[in-house]
Amino acid sequence: MAADIIPGERDLLLVVDVQNDFCPGGALGVPEGDAVVPVINRIQPGFAHVVLTQDWHPPGHQSFASTHPGHAPFETVEAAYGPQTLWPDHCVQGTPGAAFHPDLETTKAEMIVRKGTRAEIDSYSAFYENDHTTATGLAGYLRERDVTRVFICGLATDYCVHFSALDAARAGFEAVVIEDACRGIDLEGSLAAANQAMAEAGVAFIASAALGD
Q: Which residues pair with 119 in a beta bridge?
A: none
Report field, pTM of the whole predicted structure over 0.75? yes
> Within 10 A of 83 (CB to CB), how many other CB atoms are there?
9
Which of these ranges, 1-5, 116-120, 205-209, has the smallest mean pLDDT? 1-5
> SS3 for 182?
strand
> pLDDT band at residue 90, thresholds of 50, 70 and 90?
very high
Instruction: Tell me what pLDDT residue 213 has.
Output: 55
Q: Calculate what percentage of the chain has a pLDDT beyond 70.
A: 98
Could you give the residue numbers annotated as active site? 17, 115, 160
Q: Across residues 134-138, what is the average pLDDT?
A: 95
> pLDDT band at residue 4, thresholds of 50, 70 and 90?
confident
Q: At residue 32, does pLDDT exceed 70?
A: yes
> SS3 for 198?
helix
Mean pLDDT of the chain: 95
Please tell me the total number of residues recorded for the chain in this structure: 213
User: What residues contact residue 172 under an 8 Å CB cut-off, 6+ apart?
Assistant: none
3-state helix, strand, coil in the chain (%, to 5): 30, 25, 45
Q: At residue 3, does pLDDT exceed 70?
A: no
Instruction: Give the span between the Cα atoms of 72 and 109, in whole angstroms.
Output: 36
Q: Calculate what percentage of the chain has a pLDDT beyond 90.
A: 96
H runs (alpha helix) in 34-178: 36-43, 138-144, 162-170
Instruction: Tell me what pLDDT residue 11 has.
Output: 98
Instruction: Tell me what pLDDT residue 25 has.
Output: 97
